[in-house]
Structure 1
Amino acid sequence: MLAHPRHWPLLALLFAPGIAAAGDFVPPEVQFSLQHLKTEERARAARALGPLEQLPRYLVQLEVEPDARAVKGHLRVEWSVRGRPLDAIPLRLTPNAFAPRMSLSEVTVNGKPVKPQRPEDGLYLLPLAEPLAPGSSVVVELDLEGRVPRAQPGTASLLGALGASGGGNSEAGDYGAFSATEDFMSLVGVVPRVPPLDASGTPWGGPTGVGDLALYEPANVLANVIVPSGWKAHVTGVAIGEVPQKNGRVRYSFAAGAVRDFPVFASRGYESATATVNGVSVESHFAARDAQVGRRVLKYASDALSEFERRLGPLPFKNFRVVEAPLSGGAGGMEFPGLVTVGTSLYRGAADPAGALEGLPGMGQMQGLLEAMGGDAAPLGQLGKVLERTLEFTVAHEVAHQYFAGLVGSDPINAPVVDESLAQYTALLYMEWKHGRAVAEQMRQEALVSAYHMLRLSGGKDAPADRPTSGFEDPLQYGALVYGKAPLLHHYSRKLIGDEAFFKGMRSYVDTYRFKWTCGECFTQELAKASPANARELERLRVRWWKEAHGDEDLGEPSLGALMGGGGQMDPETLKLMEELMPGLMKGLQP
């Protein structure tokens, strides 16, 4: 049985060394959180957000029991009302958006017990006896407890992670964000958060089963995470303690400042490698069997961060972590402020391309045929190169998310195209800066254009990309339009105004909306400021690529030859074989 966490001393966090002196009084717990920010970034954050000690404050206590796939804890939230009076405090608990996985109890608001209302799955309203006026402070405390579902089977193989291995998880919808294996606990969303509110005081929408889960106002966080001996906790923020407990467990303590989310993970048998980029400690955490790939991931993350800091400005945090995780549902990675995950399937696929084919019905015979073709130009040899490029591109994409929407905030549910298209195109820019234009163009075809062609070959329809996640027919259409077609707006905007104006506008966009919320037109508007003569044409491009549906006209009629990079590296017999395989492949990938 888990020990009740309410009695864990929050003050235990306050006995670690390293608290910086403050001129004006700043609560000690806030000083801890601010250690997460680079010294020069604190003033910059304060200019955007106001006094950092007035940000929402989350004090988190968690105990993780992997054998039981259980988690239990206590949360204290200190939050100020803004904008308009509120008669209830909203809390978003994303694991419950898809199934009743967690429960809340002993809920109080300003010390008074309340009974949470549940207007929708994953959203709780804590009613107030009297409305709170803007500027009022409120303290919420609660206990939480949950059981974590098993991860989907086969997530270590690429096709298994896509759902092609059979035995799909009936609770799919969060890409494995809240799931467990024997050696990994993914607890994304375990900490309830106050969601952003629109002008009417209505909470922003929650996850729909397609796309990202949530994003929040910047907040300060202090957390204790207790795990069994032999396990490690991976959390956003600066590590401020690792203390053995009397019961054979270990308490990990973290502090995070001005973060829009706070993911929690625990692993067993993981190794790590570190590097330093412009004062940022970059960490790669990976399963021991994936050590070689994990070290390459560290290099890719470090290289991407170096390129992005040079062109987009500094990352505000002192720490950045990449954690291998058993993702599912086709997700290659997931992004959070100061921490990202990359799917185990990509690690294993890069190490063993043939293993990436595991899990697809009838693929055994196909794999033998491909291997028999031999030579580096054979499909398996090409697959290995594609998977390594995909791994590097995915890491760069997740690092780019530190800027879009980790730093420049946007609504991932109602406007996913805003941050995803920029993260995708920025990853493409990284490939260009690091490997040259020829490699970037190859990646543009593989990751963007081919995603759209795959949709069309499978019978999917083109549609406007700028829509809520609930507006897409399925994850395949979402991926093809948001990750494939929509980023090409930035490609053609750059061609229109030239590199100098494009990169000037891109940097201005980050500087202008740093720690703030952006809008669907904001990036185009910054480009227009950098190139006023092209303002009207830039807006026309935005409407064409995001608001309208011209995919077949702009990207060409879909064909398997185009999907395979023009078919130029495959002989006619191989191309014919792949054409015959395609219907079964697409059928196997259906959930």
Structure 2
Amino acid sequence: MSAIRWLTGMLIVVVLLTACLGEDLASPPDPYAPYRPALLEAFSSDFDRLSPLPRYDLELRLDVDTRHLEGSGTVIVSNTHTLPLSELYFRLYPNLSQYQGSIAIKEILVDGKMAAFGYTPDNTAIQVALTEPLPKGESVEVRYAWALDAPLIPAGYALFGESQGILSLPLSYPILAVSEMDTEGGRLKWHLETAPSFSDVAFTESALYQVRLIVDPDMTVITSGTVVSRTTTAEGMAAWQIVTGPIREFMLILSPRFEKASGKAYDTTVHSYFLPEDRLAGQRALAYAIAAVQVYNDRFGRYPFPELNIVEAPLENRGMEYPVVNLIGIDTYRERQEEQEFLIVHEIAHQWWYNLVGNDPVNRPWLDEGLAEYSAYIYFESVYGKEVAERIRHNRWEIPVAYARESGLDTVVGQSAFGFSPLNYEIMVYAKSALFFHALRQKMGDQAFFEWLQALVTDYRYQVLTPEAMLSEAERISGRDVQSVYERWILTAGHP
């Protein structure tokens, strides 16, 4: 009987101890839980394989009448380098002359303590001093507040600011600059280049975002993330709560006049936003976008985000890519509708070649632009057949490249944006690099070529791809030496 009592007592003790320690024995909280709604469930495991990414938690208060934004928030920065960090740099892209905006820092705290900071000479970045060196693998919390003013541009091309009833605010916050080890100097290099006005300006690495936006309730808001809630503040303003998966930068575009049409491309919902007077062109744009997502999913690999947006924007007949958002020039909804399909499929390709697989668009602009341009060839080949795609190759690429060679505009493709001029940038960076990828396809063969593209998306998703890594993958998969093709088309002027 005493043995039974002893066993019963021990069982009670075990139960009580388990109850007391249950909280300690439970699984640790999921650090990526807030961001998971912004990736398709099939890609949920991507969070577990991420290297430490910057994590932004931002609050934006936007007055649309004055185009003035008050922002505050935190950024968690981890040191992924072997050397300790003694300083951080944040880019202030709205201060670029081509953006015509203004962004000013109010205060900065590092781990809760006021920190010294200073502007670079051109005001497009700030340097933040760390009180103690940050070792490899350690993190620091940067808290900052800033004010931003965007311009009013009555007509014409307006990438940043308000024009024609649309307010576009890319990169409207201080964003961590890209840093990398300088292999020759054995020190850390921060990318603070001010790109030419005719090229893309932002070199950014993948990061995670939580954003709270306070704005006029009449505005239709399109962002780079997933809306998890929309509430009303005591003042009657709309409070949007937005989260993202791993993206290169956070984009915000809005208008009180936008209409929307939506459809599905596999598991992704595609939205087309347009002005009421351009409804028919906006619906046609949706059809093009859905077809592009389907083709690129099949050819390159699955798009991991639940949504993709194409937005009519005051960019004349041009376009611009941002994570989850593609801006399509207003003229292609009106007097230049024949250009709309190509522009849409080119910009959507950047969701694979820029947002998923990143590169340095200032120092290696040909890489993502050439891939996006050649992706359009793949789209037209898949949807309309080889003959249509070949006409595009000849008219859009071969003729301009031949003209550049005959007029003295031909140059080496594999250089930074600073090596080009407005006269030859698009011919070299878009057309000639697209011809390189076509020549590479001929060298590798179709099966190896498309297997290679899929491998790039799988292996370099959320990372930065270099030409060296790209070529190494091509040779590994095809078993062929592709260096000669690269040297002829990218490193040598005058070819073909």
Pair 234,451 (structure 1): closer, same or farther in 2 beyond 3 Å: farther
Deviations 1:339-374 (A, max 9, x none): 211111222234xxxxxxxxxxxxxxxxxxxxxxxx
Residue 339 of structure 1 pairs with residue 325 of structure 2? yes
Measure, in 2, the Cα distance between the counterparts of 1:205 and 1:137: 22
Give 1:223 deviation, angstroms. Answer: 0.8
* Alignment-derived partner of residue 149 in structure 1: 151
Mapping for residues 427-576 of structure 1, pairs under 5 Å: 427-452=376-401, 455=404, 461-474=409-422, 476-532=423-479, 534-535=480-481, 538-551=482-495, 554=496
CA-based RMSD: 2.0
Query: Contact (CA 8 Å) 1:451, 1:479: kept in 2 or not?
Result: no
**What is aligned with 2:118?**
117
| Deviation for aligned residue 1:246 | 3.4
Which residue number corresponds to residue 184 of structure 1?
166
Aligned counterpart, 1:204: 191
User: Structure 1 residues 465 and 97, CA, compared in 2 at 3 Å: closer, same or farther?
Assistant: same
Question: How far has the Cα of 1:448 moved from its partner?
Answer: 2.0
CA contact (8 A) 1:185 1:265 kept: yes
Shift of 1:46: 2.8
Asked if the contact 1:505/1:526 (under 8 Å) is kept, the reply is yes
The one-character-per-residue Cα deviations of 1:263-292 (angstroms, maximum 9, x if unpaired) are 111212000111112211111111111111
Q: Distance in 1 between matches of 2:471 and 2:335?
A: 37
Conserved in 2, the CA contact under 8 Å of 1:62 and 1:226? yes
**Aligned CA distance change for structure 1 residues 205 and 425 (closer, same or farther; 3 Å):** farther
For 2:388 and 2:346, locate their aligned partners in 1 and report how far apart those are by CA, in whole Å: 16
Check the 8 A contact 2:103/2:148 in 1, yes or no.
yes
User: CA–CA distance in 2 between the matches of 1:524 and 1:286?
Assistant: 40
**Post-superposition offset of 1:495:** 2.0
- Residue 181 and residue 66 in structure 1: after superposition, are their counterparts in 2 closer, same or farther (change >3 A)? farther
Greater percentage in strand: 2
Aligned mates of 1:45, 1:489 — CA distance in 2 = 34
Aligned identity (percent) is 29
In structure 2, the CA distance between the partners of 1:314 and 1:100, relative to structure 1 (3 Å rule), is: closer
Q: Give the structure with higher Rg (CA).
A: 2
Secondary structure, counterpart of 1:253 in structure 2: strand
Which residue is equivalent to 2:367? Answer: 418
Of 279-288 and 244-253, more deviation after overlay is shown by 244-253
* 1:338 Cα deviation from its structure 2 partner: 1.5
Aligned to 1:558: none
Measured in 2, the distance between the counterparts of 1:152 and 1:518 equals: 39
The AA in structure 2 aligned to 1:284 is: S
Are 1:464 and 1:549, in contact at CA under 8 Å, matched by a contact in 2? Answer: yes
Contact conserved, 1:333 with 1:341, CA < 8 A, in 2? yes
Q: CA deviation at 1:456?
A: 6.1
- After superposition, where does 1:324-335 map in structure 2 within 5 Å? 324-327=312-315, 332-335=318-321
Q: Give how far 1:313 is off.
A: 1.0
Match of 2:245 in 1: 257
- 1:25 equivalenced with 2:29 (yes/no): yes
Question: Between Structure 1 and Structure 2, which shows a larger proportion of helix residues?
Answer: 1
Residue 304 of structure 1: CA displacement?
A: 0.7
* Partners of 2:442 and 2:350 in 1: CA distance: 23
Which runs of 5 or more residues in structure 1 are unaligned?
Answer: 1-21, 156-160, 162-175, 351-386, 555-591
Q: Which amino acid aligns with 1:462?
A: D
What does the per-residue CA deviation read over 1:361-412, in whole Å, with 9 as the maximum and x for residues that have no partner? xxxxxxxxxxxxxxxxxxxxxxxxxx52x31111111111111121111111
User: What letter matches 2:307 in structure 1?
Assistant: N
Report how many residues are paired. 461
Contact 1:45 1:515 (8 Å CA) reproduced: no
2:43 aligns with: 41
The 1-side partners of 2:384 and 2:360 are apart by 32
Counterpart Cα distance in 2 of 1:241 and 1:349: 38
Q: Distance in 1 between matches of 2:434 and 2:154?
A: 30
Q: Partner of 1:6 in structure 2?
A: none
Q: Kindly tell me: are residues 314 and 344 of structure 1, through their superposed partners in 2, closer, same or farther at Cα, counting changes over 3 Å?
A: same
Q: Is the 8 A contact 1:75 1:191 kept in 2?
A: no
Residue 454 (structure 1) shift: 5.9
Of residues 226-235 and 306-315 in structure 1, the stretch that sits farther from structure 2 once superposed is 226-235
Whole-angstrom CA distance in 1 between matches of 2:367 and 2:47: 22
**CA–CA distance in 1 between the matches of 2:68 and 2:164?**
12
Relative distance call for 1:152 and 1:431 in structure 2 (3 A) is farther
C-alpha change, 1:120 and 1:315, in structure 2 (3 Å) is farther
Q: 1:218-257, aligned counterparts within 5 Å?
A: 218-257=206-245
Paired residue type of 2:59:
Q
* TM-score, normalising length: structure 1: 0.74
Amino acid at match of 1:264: L
Counterpart amino acid of residue 274 in structure 2:
F
- How far, CA to CA, are the matches of 1:454 and 1:299 in structure 2? 34
Structure 1 residues 148 and 460: alpha-carbon distance in aligned structure 2, compared to 1, 3 A threshold: farther
Conserved 8 A contact 2:101-2:160: no
TM-score normalised over the length of structure 2: 0.88
- Displacement of 1:118: 1.6
CA shift, 1:469, in A, is: 1.1
Number of the residue aligned with 1:273: 261
Alpha-carbon distance between aligned partners in 2 of 1:442 and 1:135, rounded to the nearest angstrom: 52
